[in-house]
Amino acid sequence: MKLAESSTDGTPVGEPFTYWCASDGQFLGYLNAYPDHWTQGNNLNDLKVHLLDLYREFSKEDLPGIRHVGELIVA
């Protein structure tokens, strides 16, 4: 399962995420661009479904209080 929609030219777009399996067997994870917002799933594919839901919600850009990760060029 891919985590992002296709780009305007139809090329799949990736969205990096971090995940791990907890001691109770649940998979936990977050989109790297939104590390404050964790989700969980019964297995890795279920986690990806929940991460995709988060991605779609956060892509709307009309949600107040969502922290974003940016990169500052200093040189």
Q: Which domain holds residue 53?
A: 1-63
Q: Which residues contact 21 (CB under 8 A, 6 or more apart)?
A: 27, 28
Alpha helices in the chain (DSSP H): 44-59
State the Cα–Cα distance between residues 45 and 52, nearest whole angstrom.
11
32: domain CATH number is 3.30.160
Is residue 75 in some structural domain?
Answer: no
Residue 30 lies in a domain: yes
- 18-68: pLDDT as tens digits: 999 999 999 999 999 999 999 999 999 999 999 999 999 988 877 788 887
Tokens of 48: 């990806």
pTM (whole model) above 0.85: no
Q: What is the pLDDT of residues 22-35, one digit of tens each?
A: 999 999 999 999 99
| 46 within a domain of the structure (yes/no) | yes
Establish if 71 belongs to a structural domain.
Answer: no
